[in-house]
Amino acid sequence: MTSLSDLLLLGKGADLSSERGVSCTGELPEASDPTLVARATTARAALGSKAMVLGHHYQRDEVIQYADITGDSFKLAQAAADNSEAEFIFFCGVHFMAESADILTSPAQKVILPDLAAGCSMADMATANQVAEAWKVFERLGIAKKSIPVTYMNSSAAIKSFTGENGGTVCTSSNAERAMRWAFEKGEKVFFLPDQHLGRNTAVLKLGLRLSDCAVWNPWKSNGGLSDDEILAAKVILWRGHCSVHGRFSTDNIAEVRERVPGINVIVHPECQHDVVKNSDVVGSTEMIIKTVSAAPSGSSWAVGTELNLVKRLAAANPDKKVIFLDKTICYCSTMNRIDLPHLVWAMESLVEGRLVNQIKVDERTAHHARVALERMLALP
């Protein structure tokens, strides 16, 4: 039997596939050792109402089964803030999500991320230093005061703080249009961070701007890889970031699935590339995808362009419909899947024993300005 310490090594990159009989076909391993399931149940019961377990939609089923609430990152952070009785928040998601929960919850509440290695590649594509350097260029060109930063929820606390300090707001995939329209009411340009695809899709498909109105800022190149004239001419300056999961989907995937399944509906997340979004039947946030497929007529067919854990769960919940993954290859969110049952058991059992592990704490100055940006989002019409 594999030990808990060995199972934890799986989240650190150790290869125990030969011991556990895991194939290399791209499938996730079977649910963890049954003793861990019993231990998780015991630890969760021992913590009672003083703890709350939040499970993001992209989490694996063996973790989701212990979640008190499931949802997207902002919904979960709000749920934690609304439950003042819960002193300890186990956030089964990624780092920026746990940061948002810490920002929104009270000082008496403590947010725990079961595996600190659970990050987000998109959020990591925009660092505070890189964004500060870009802003210096805007100041040199005299456009900083005319530019309103809008950062996607999938960003670090530091980027949210920068946004709040410089008159901007946060957005989710469902309110990005409202946030961008608000920003244009406040200034002449929008500086959209860190997902270029959500920014571009919102600007062009929702606000009616042209692709040529958007310029992409590459933080790894001098002057963002743009000339001064290109920066001055752009209405929307997009950060060169993307989601490693949603960025995989292509128009070839759409053509293939439509040929294979006549009459199928293609529904994708707005983090997908522009051509994919433009050629899909329905585009929407994770919550919108779930609601749309769930409310669809029995017998309808859906190809879903988002994270595979969610698609598999959506298919299981809608057996009267054909729900398939848009891409034929495996596409889990690798960092989200670092939160597995061994890590959750370790974090909960540690707390039962009186040890607080992996607390996520945002410093007060950063939290203050990030909270300002979040409050602006909540105040959007």
Check whether residue 129 and residue 170 sit in a common domain: yes
- Specify the pTM: 0.86
Closest CA to 366 of 66, 165, 107, 145: 165
Residues 308-329 have a mean pLDDT of 92
| Angstrom distance (rounded) from CA 294 to CA 279 | 22
Residue 124 forms beta bridges with which residues?
Answer: none
Check whether residue 87 and residue 189 sit in a common domain: no
| Secondary structure element (H or E) that encloses residue 103, with its range | helix 95-104
Check whether residue 250 and residue 236 sit in a common domain: no
Residues 280-304 have a mean pLDDT of 96
Check whether residue 151 and residue 226 sit in a common domain: yes
Given pLDDT bands bounded at 50, 70 and 90, which one contains residue 277? very high
Given pLDDT bands bounded at 50, 70 and 90, which one contains residue 63? very high
Domain that holds residue 217: 123-242
Is residue 285 in some structural domain? yes
Residues 157-174 have a mean pLDDT of 96
Check whether residue 159 and residue 268 sit in a common domain: no
24, pLDDT greater than 90:
no
Ranking 15-24, 250-259, 294-303 by mean pLDDT, the lowest is: 15-24
Check whether residue 109 and residue 215 sit in a common domain: no
Q: What pLDDT is stored for residue 11 in this prediction? A: 38
Give the CATH number, domain containing residue 264: 3.40.50.10800
Q: What pLDDT is stored for residue 245 in this prediction? A: 87
Check whether residue 13 and residue 110 sit in a common domain: yes
Ranking 66-75, 268-277, 323-332 by mean pLDDT, the lowest is: 323-332
User: What's the pLDDT tens digit per position in 196-248?
Assistant: 999 999 999 999 999 999 999 999 999 999 999 999 999 999 999 999 889 99
Given pLDDT bands bounded at 50, 70 and 90, which one contains residue 26? very low
254, pLDDT greater than 90:
yes
User: What's the pLDDT tens digit per position in 169-192?
Assistant: 999 999 999 999 999 999 999 999
Is residue 296 in some structural domain? yes
Decide: helix, strand or coil at residue 137.
helix
29, pLDDT greater than 80:
no
CA atoms within 13 A on the CB side of 34: 0
Residues 251-272 have a mean pLDDT of 96
| Angstrom distance (rounded) from CA 376 to CA 266 | 33
Check whether residue 304 and residue 216 sit in a common domain: no
Maximum alpha-carbon separation in the chain:
64
Check whether residue 212 and residue 252 sit in a common domain: no
Residue 194 forms beta bridges with which residues?
Answer: none
330, pLDDT greater than 70:
no
Is residue 370 in some structural domain? no
Last residue of a domain, one of 190, 221, 242: 242
If one counts the domains in the chain, the total is 3
Is residue 373 in some structural domain? no
Is residue 378 in some structural domain? no
Ranking 49-63, 143-157, 221-235 by mean pLDDT, the lowest is: 49-63
Q: How does the average pLDDT of the chain come out, rounded?
A: 89
| Angstrom distance (rounded) from CA 117 to CA 155 | 16
What are the residues whose beta carbons fall under 8 Å from the beta carbon of 332, sequence distance 6 or more?
A: 28, 58, 245, 307, 308, 309
Given pLDDT bands bounded at 50, 70 and 90, which one contains residue 381? confident
Last residue of a domain, one of 188, 212, 242: 242
Q: What pLDDT is stored for residue 238 in this prediction? A: 98
Check whether residue 9 and residue 106 sit in a common domain: yes
Q: What pLDDT is stored for residue 345 in this prediction? A: 94
Q: What pLDDT is stored for residue 30 in this prediction? A: 60
Given pLDDT bands bounded at 50, 70 and 90, which one contains residue 35? confident
Ranking 50-64, 148-162, 165-179 by mean pLDDT, the lowest is: 50-64
Is residue 179 in some structural domain? yes
Q: What pLDDT is stored for residue 334 in this prediction? A: 72
Is residue 376 in some structural domain? no
Q: Residue 262: is it exposed, middle or buried by C-beta count within 10 angstroms (0-12/13-18/19+)? A: exposed
Residues 56-82 have a mean pLDDT of 89
Last residue of a domain, one of 211, 242, 273: 242
Give the residue, 364 or 60, on which the prediction is more confident. Answer: 364
Give the 3-state secondary structure percentages of the chain, helix then strand then coil, rounded to 5: 50, 15, 35
Check whether residue 257 and residue 185 sit in a common domain: no
Decide: helix, strand or coil at residue 88.
strand
| Angstrom distance (rounded) from CA 200 to CA 260 | 30
Q: What pLDDT is stored for residue 31 in this prediction? A: 55
CA quadruple 294, 295, 297, 300: dihedral sign = negative
Is residue 369 in some structural domain? no
Check whether residue 317 and residue 264 sit in a common domain: yes
20, pLDDT greater than 60:
no
Q: What pLDDT is stored for residue 3 in this prediction? A: 41
CA atoms within 13 A on the CB side of 260: 16
Q: What pLDDT is stored for residue 15 in this prediction? A: 33
Given pLDDT bands bounded at 50, 70 and 90, which one contains residue 16? very low
Q: Which residues of 200-216 are buried (b: 16+ CB within 10 A; e: fewer)?
A: bbbbbeebebeeebbbb
Q: What pLDDT is stored for residue 336 in this prediction? A: 77
162, pLDDT greater than 80:
yes
